[in-house]
A = this chain, B = another copy of it.
Amino acid sequence: MDHQVSLTAYLAAFVAELVQTGIKDVVVSPGSRSTPMAMVLAEHPEINIHIHVDERSAAFFALGIAKATNKPVAILCTSGTAAANYFPAIVEARYSRVPLLVFTADRPHELREVGAPQAIDQIHLYGQHVKWFADMALPENNKEMIRYARTVCARAAAIAMQAPAGPVHLNFPFREPLIPKLDEITFQLEERPNGYVKVRNGELTIPEDEIREISFKLNEYKKGIIVCGNIEDEQFAQAVTELSDALKFPILADPLSQLRSGKHQLENIVESYDTFLRNEDAKPYLQPDVILRFGAMPVSKALTIFLKENHQAEQFVIDGAGGWRDPSSLSTEMIFCNETIFCEKLLSLSETRESVEFLEKWLDVNNLTKANMSLIKDSYKLSEGRLFYQLEEMLPEGATLFVGNSMPIRDLDSFFLNNNKSIKVMANRGANGIDGTVSTALGAALYSKPLYLVLGDLTFFHDLNGLVAAKLYDIDIRIIVVNNNGGGIFSFLPQSQHPKYFELLFGTPLNLEFEHAVRMFDGKFTKVKDWEHLGELMNQSTEVKGLNVYEVVTNRDSNLTEHREFWRIVSQEISNFVKGVH
């Protein structure tokens, strides 16, 4: 009985501290060994418990909540392979810099590596992929161990939030009996009742004189561009657009930079570069001598190649989390400084430039590209290009758009144009996997409303189990499944030149009627007939509740042909324009 008293007090202290750090959401997968933690969490009035039987989906669901709330979310599972199922989401959290607290239940020391049931080696289970691992002490109820439990909790939450945010793993050994004494539980702690230790996470800033040196250097260059990849900082859009305005540098904005939509200045934002940087005449015309790069590497391969080709340019890479995101080894300066602070400080030292010549070249080519999108936007048949082109128009103000990997994020990059709606764009771009997309979007949809998910059929299939959350928690979500019956992206890659094994290894058609699965999860499934039909479906958006899946059937071959034809036409226009200017 002493054991149960200790178990209860220790976990109550831990959970009370968890709530003090601001964490509210915990995704729990059922299990036996995790019982004491699950029951104490359930007992706390300020914790929202989300139950998810499949731990893989559970962890992605938590990732989605964390993405939407910018707060750590905790996940709890029992011992054994349950914990191994968390691995994909943990890896994604690490590379996409999303805070997660991973709590795994474990056997106590005497039952480890001795063939006990459901016992696996959980020490450093996720290796390098978590920021911190601690094998917790067995529950004890004395002042020192209560302080220990509270401190570890506060510390874990702080490490998860510290830039770069990411996952932290705490492994809890529990002895039987596993039942806490809930009738005796108290979350009111005597010592420091309002939280044991508050952690204040600092931000990276470089000294004034170094900023001055950078500003001085920048003054020597006339042709600058700003490249923005995925970045999650609400202040950043304002700061970087003001900097762009002063320096007269165009901003090449990845769809995940959150710069294409919003109330900030959109004038200098270039969004069609993935199309026009495929043109060989445009490249010398737009050649920069300096590049400021913020955020993750952009999605566009054309842009990556353009940057590589411009290795002569001075390239400043600014990373507020001290990361090293430079796959082509191009940076001349790696600047570990909060991106917004960097922009603001640099702006304060910069005079507004007069010359707009280089900026206008970029804006001209960008506008020309956008003006030549008729092939895409007027497509009579249902097509992937037009779908992404139309999203901006179809989505309501304030919507969140979650996009699947492989083709959808690339089509979004190509065809989702600047707009002043406040549309937040999300994707799992840490490791770019197709796994867990449904669950991540559903987790985000708990807090980001209304939420629209657009993804391919293989991505939808990969996380079909994730839909159960929509059923259990009545989550409102619109899912557009672009069904081209297989891996559409491979048609764009060199693999497609080798028909011998193409459909077997890469095309991989599954021929699934998703309507069945959607029905099983109490969702509404609609096969989209034409553009008008899709427009109607999207229009009624705010009234529609629950899980809604709209299937847009496309064809991989004609999709490839359309993209190629579009690139050919635009390329010709750009070449004519550039040659005419010279």
Chain A residues with a Cβ under 8 A of chain B: 28, 30, 32, 35, 38-39, 42-43, 49, 51, 53-56, 80-82, 84-85, 87-88, 90-92, 94-95, 110-111, 113-121, 123-125, 127-129, 177-179, 182, 296-297, 299, 323-327, 329, 431-433, 435-436, 458, 461-462, 464-465, 468, 471-472, 487, 489-490, 493-495, 497-498, 500-501, 504-506, 508, 510, 512-514, 516-517, 519-521
Contact = CB atoms under 8 A, between A and B. Distances in A.
A260 to B, nearest CB: 20
Nearest to A81: B433
A450 B383 CA distance: 45
Given A39-B505, A82-B435, A432-B118, A458 B129 contact: no
16 contacts: A30-B458, A38-B505, A39-B498, A54-B461, A56-B85, A81-B88, A85-B88, A85-B435, A87-B88, A91-B120, A111-B327, A116-B297, A118-B431, A120-B431, A465-B465, A512-B520
A55 B512 CA distance: 18
A110 B32 CA distance: 45
Given A487-B30, A498-B182, A326 B114 contact: yes
A43 to B, nearest CB: 8
A324 B113 contact: yes
A51 B508 contact: yes
A323 to B, nearest CB: 7
Most chain B beta-carbon neighbours within 10 Å: one of A32, A114, A505, A516? A505
Contacts of A85: 56, 87-88, 435
A177 B494 CA distance: 8
A504 B56 CA distance: 19
A118 B461 CA distance: 20
A464 B512 CA distance: 14
B506 A435 contact: no
Contacts of A519: 516
A116 B229 CA distance: 13
Copies of this chain, tallied across the complex: 2
A70 to B, nearest CB: 21
A285 B582 CA distance: 103
Contacts of A436: 81
Contact of A505 (B51, B120, B487): B51
B92 A88 contact: no
A261 B472 CA distance: 42
Given A117-B297, A121-B127, 4 more contacts: A84-B90, A94-B120, A118-B432, A125-B127
Contacts of A324: 113-115
Interface centre among A81, A85, A177, A299 (most CB of B within 10 A): A81
Contacts of A128: 121, 123-124
Nearest to A500: B182
Contact of A81 (B39, B120, B435): B435
A262 B331 CA distance: 69
A91 B95 contact: no
Given A82-B435, A487-B30, A53 B329 contact: no
Contacts of A471: 510
A298 B32 CA distance: 19
Q: Which of A30, A299, A329 has the most CB of B within 10 A?
A: A30
Contacts of A39: 498, 501, 505
A10 to B, nearest CB: 19
A316 to B, nearest CB: 15
Contacts of A520: 512-514, 516-517
A110 to B, nearest CB: 7
A323 B115 contact: yes
B433 A118 contact: yes
B506 A30 contact: yes
A28 to B, nearest CB: 7
Q: Which 6 A-B pairs have the closest CB atoms?
A: A115-B325, A81-B433, A516-B520, A116-B327, A84-B87, A84-B88
A496 B32 CA distance: 11
A64 to B, nearest CB: 15
Nearest to A405: B118
